[in-house]
Structure 1
Amino acid sequence: MVTVPNLITLFRVFMVPAFIMASFYREFKLALLVFLAAAVSDALDGFLARRLNQVSQLGVIMDPLADKALIDSGFLFLSYADGKIPPWLTVIVISRDLLILSGGWLLSAFGKLKKLRPTPLGKATAFLQFTTILITLLHLNFQLCNTICLKGLYLTTAAFTVASAVEYTVKGIGELSSE
């Protein structure tokens, strides 16, 4: 179904390669602009889908995939960029996403997959991950934070990411165990 929110989400999907290229070539001002545009489009598509009553199955699937593509590529390439995001944090973030994706496939294979809904902890984790990328890009462009500020942000993001992974794992195991 072609809707305005779905077109905005598709726009975000096409922004991911631009963000990757800007990050890879250390064009951090451009990467910041692309990331900000993608973040605004994320908020806008969800708002419009609800406001215009245009929530669609395509959007429900495509929106989180676009978010994960942007977040995971952000962590990967900003970790690569002179180690600005610690590689250990990137491994945690991407591992959580792979765990959730694998769990979803497993639940689906056993016919146990209910409508996937993010938990409050999952939403807070996504917000922190977006914020981590944004603050890192702002720091790369404007020396916004000191090392202690960045380390605190990275540790907080890691803690939420791990807690969220545990929460989704427990929920998934519970779903598989239920009759």
Structure 2
Amino acid sequence: REAMGQMCGGCFAGMQAKAPDHSRYHEVTYTHLHPAPEGSLALLGGITIEVPEEDKAKLFYSDLLGCNKAPTGGLSVSVGASRIDLPVSKLPYKWPGEIRIWVEDLRDANDMLHMLGPTLGTDLLQDYTQGVDFGRYEMVVRDPWSANRFRVAETPEDRAIALRKLFPAGPKRSNVL
């Protein structure tokens, strides 16, 4: 210490031994104490799901689910206002929970499921259920690696129109909202 103090002209002499606790000088407030307003949506900005095979990922996310390729480059898809980044990895990443995707027409997603399911080499469909939101039907599918569950639900027409106004689909109109 003495040698360092001599080398830098005693620059450590004026330093405090312990940093002050500035948190006691301001009031801490939390922004998420109140419930969301009625009718509001919680949207993820973006998630990352590692996939073992890029070709299968493109078929599943772009063709089967109907997501547009995101303009960010790399393997990314747009899901309405959200984005899913799909970097290639040795093992698939398991998202903690289900991922809900709203579509304008569930029949389109169902047709693609039956057409591409055999191509992807696995049974992707897990279930058709009565939807918990708005009483619409939804299908539960797994990705080609059986790592992640997606609940693909048809949104009511009035919500679809509102979401299209908020989040335009870009050059290719997507079934995904």
TM-score (norm 2): 0.24
Higher helix share: 1
Larger radius of gyration: 2
Higher RCO by CA contacts (8 Å cutoff, separation 6 or greater): 1
Q: Please, what TM-score do these two structures have when normalized by structure 1?
A: 0.24
Compare the two structures and name the one with the higher strand fraction: 2
